[in-house]
Amino acid sequence: MVTKSFRLAAVPLALGLALAAGAHAQISDGVVKIGILTDMSGPYSSFGGKGSVVATNLAIEDCLKAECSGMKIEVLSADHQNKADIASSKAREWLDRDRVDAFADLTNSAAALSVQKLLKEKSAIGLFTGAATTRLTNEDCGPTSFHWMFDTYSASAGAAAALTKAGGKSWYFLTVDYAFGHSLEKDATEMVKANGGNVVGSVRHPLNASDFSSFILQAKNSGAQVIGLANGAQDTVNAIKAAREFGVGGKQKVASLLMFLTDVHSLGLRQAQGLMFSEGFYWDMDDQTRALSTRFEKLHKGYKPTMVQAGVYSSTLHYLRTVATAKTDDWKVVAKKMRELPIKDPVMRNASIRDDGRVIHDMYLFEVKKPAESKAPWDYYKTVSTIPAQIAFKPLESSSCPLVKK
């Protein structure tokens, strides 16, 4: 039997969904509680937001049909408004008052880092899917935290490496001014230089900038062969639109280092065609991804899942399977067991969890199709190449995570 209970919390969009079929005796409070902390209303809500709650509920549904049969699971969700202090405050409230066992999504790197700091003080699991900064598995890593799907290194290993190898040797970065953008520019710069290129300059803009005209003009006038966009979601969309308006093209290319399916959908193929970037999931890769995406689409207003939303499904499912297998939600036991159990789901291929908490898996370099190449709604990508798991992410021996034995 499935019952729904809507709970009010400090953030209006907080939502509780209880899926009950009898409690497991070794589960604290008799219930496993998962908190979805994400951007519900701002520039990142399109690739996370309410879609991440949908993805979580799909994972719960699938686990209840199998390993989690008889388990009681509750989901809380809240809008952190892309503010680190709100994210930390809400996470602390959930830990102290609601005794949440695991946090998922955590879009926005600054918000994620604030929650990561808290998780190292308290006892809970962190499933970071929407945050991109590599700090989560380096200097700020934690024993009970896991970084799912992508980071700024894996984003750079795709487009930055490919475009530099293809002749785009000089770069100018347009960077969102907070932890995520700084990390993406840093990793992309290293990737450009490693492939024989150089960076001629950069400019930073605020999150959710209203006008990109001056930033694009600075980048255009730099004479760089490639304008690298070290930002995401609506900022990326607006920067690309501005670049088109100011005639950037020809010998000067725009490189979107991090792009999501919803960004391409917002831009339309006419403006997005030819863009190259790396992702860890695409809805139309095989029968498994199509089946999951069809279920998601029916529950999320006709939208296919983004890489982040698919990652929330994957991380939640693996966490719940681990709790069911371990027969406890004790964070120490679960964190250890999560590293031991294989990750098997429709989302990721060749996936495993390293000592630093980084989940590595195959990534893919995609190119956006031309309008004439698209045969159906959401038919946007063509695969350029597969980036193997061991290459897609920063090598473990280069990690600065204190948990890694050297």
CATH number of the domain within which 129 lies? 3.40.50.2300
On whether both 36 and 126 belong to a single domain, the answer is: yes
Query: Residue 249: what pLDDT?
Result: 82
Query: Residue 144: what pLDDT?
Result: 96
Long-range contacts of the stretch 196-200 (C-beta < 8 A, 24+):
196/164, 196/169, 197/164, 197/168, 197/169, 197/170, 197/171, 198/169, 198/170, 198/171, 199/170, 199/171, 199/172, 199/173, 200/170, 200/171, 200/172, 200/224
Instruction: Label residue 15 by pLDDT band (50, 70, 90).
Output: very low
CA distance 296 to 313: 10
Higher pLDDT, 6 or 46: 46
What total number of domains does the chain contain? 2
pLDDT higher than threshold 80 for residue 12: no
Q: Which domain holds residue 373?
A: 153-279+363-396
* Claim: this prediction has a pTM higher than 0.85: yes
Query: Residue 197: what pLDDT?
Result: 96
On whether both 92 and 25 belong to a single domain, the answer is: yes
Query: Residue 123: what pLDDT?
Result: 82
Instruction: Label residue 1 by pLDDT band (50, 70, 90).
Output: very low
Query: Are 150 and 351 contacting, i.e. CB atoms less than 8 angstroms apart?
Result: no
Higher pLDDT, 7 or 300: 300
Query: Residue 23: what pLDDT?
Result: 38
- % pLDDT > 90, the chain: 86
pLDDT higher than threshold 50 for residue 282: yes
CA distance 332 to 309: 26
Instruction: Label residue 49 by pLDDT band (50, 70, 90).
Output: very high
Establish if 211 belongs to a structural domain. yes
On whether both 346 and 369 belong to a single domain, the answer is: no
Tens of pLDDT, residues 94-125: 999 999 999 999 999 999 999 999 999 988 99
Establish if 308 belongs to a structural domain. yes
On whether both 72 and 218 belong to a single domain, the answer is: no
On whether both 242 and 368 belong to a single domain, the answer is: yes
Average pLDDT of the segment spanning 204-231: 95
On whether both 37 and 179 belong to a single domain, the answer is: no
3-state secondary structure of 27: coil
Establish if 404 belongs to a structural domain. no
Higher pLDDT, 1 or 123: 123
CA distance 189 to 202: 11
Query: Residue 4: what pLDDT?
Result: 31
Query: Residue 26: what pLDDT?
Result: 80
Tens of pLDDT, residues 328-377: 999 999 999 999 999 999 999 999 999 999 999 999 999 999 999 999 99
pLDDT higher than threshold 50 for residue 8: no
Find the DSSP H helices in 23-151: 49-64, 84-93, 109-119
Average pLDDT of the segment spanning 139-144: 96
Q: Which of 171, 107, 157 is nearest to 136 (CA)?
A: 107
On whether both 386 and 248 belong to a single domain, the answer is: yes
Query: Residue 405: what pLDDT?
Result: 85
Establish if 8 belongs to a structural domain. no
Establish if 1 belongs to a structural domain. no
Q: Which of 294, 241, 327, 236 is nearest to 43 (CA)?
A: 236
pLDDT higher than threshold 90 for residue 91: yes
Establish if 406 belongs to a structural domain. no
Mean pLDDT of all residues belonging to the chain: 91
Describe the strand order of the beta sheet including 381-387 as a list of residue ranges: 276-279, 363-368, 381-387
pLDDT higher than threshold 90 for residue 13: no
Instruction: Label residue 16 by pLDDT band (50, 70, 90).
Output: very low
On whether both 167 and 315 belong to a single domain, the answer is: no
Establish if 405 belongs to a structural domain. no
* Range scoring the smallest mean pLDDT among 8-12, 46-50, 319-323: 8-12
